[in-house]
Structure 1
Amino acid sequence: MAKAVIIGIPGEAGLWLADLNAGTVTQLSPTGDLATASSLRKAGGTFVKSVDFAVAVSSAQVALSGHVDG
């Protein structure tokens, strides 16, 4: 099972690595295949692999309250 997730959201140029075991989020400088996928994202593409739930929210407070805003 995956213990880390790479995240990119619209309006945020960079990619982020969320390490679920460590409880940390770190900005990435993508290389190799990840850099290729990132460049497709910059062109408007979406890349999803081995993730079964993801929701972008406006703040942690919104997520912690149980709401999913639009």
Structure 2
Amino acid sequence: MARVIVISMAGEEGLWVVDLDAGSVVPLDPPKAGGLNTVTDLRASGTIVTKGVDMAVVVTSAEAAFAGHYDG
């Protein structure tokens, strides 16, 4: 099973690719066609899109996450 996630945060323009196996996060060039382009267009109108993710939260820092804290 692939362990790659495409993410972004509200208010941010770009998309990021997270490869859990490689332990890497890299920016994704803006998609010009296909499903990710559709998602990008939906995001621009304020739509939140999730698929296959069962938990995601924004935290103030990595240290806060490691301590078990988030602004909920």
- Indicate whether the TM-score tops 0.5: yes
TM-score of the pair, normalised by structure 2? 0.87
Q: Is the deviation greater in 24-33 or in 37-46?
A: 24-33
| TM-score, with structure 1 as normaliser | 0.89
Local SS of the residue matching 2:51: coil
Shift of 1:54: 0.8
| Greater relative contact order, per chain length (Cα 8 Å cut-off, separation 6+) | 1
Structure 1 unaligned segments of length 5 or more: list them. Answer: none
Aligned residue for 2:23? 23
Distance 1:9 1:51 in 2: 14
Provide the rounded CA distance (Å) in 1 between the counterparts of 2:13 and 2:2: 24
Once residues 34 and 22 of structure 1 are traced to their aligned partners in structure 2, the CA distance between those partners, rounded to angstroms, is: 22
Render the CA deviation track for 1:10-54: whole Å, top value 9, x for unaligned: 121100000000000010122421011111101100110011111
1:51 counterpart residue number: 53
**What one-letter code is carried by the residue in structure 2 that aligns with 1:35?**
N
1:64 Cα deviation after fit: 1.0
In structure 2, stretches of 5+ residues that fail to align are: none
CA RMSD of aligned residues (A): 1.2
Secondary structure of the corresponding residue to residue 55 of structure 1: coil
- 1:14 corresponding residue in structure 2: 14
* % identity of equivalent residues: 49
Between the aligned partners of 2:71 and 2:63, the Cα distance in structure 1 is 11
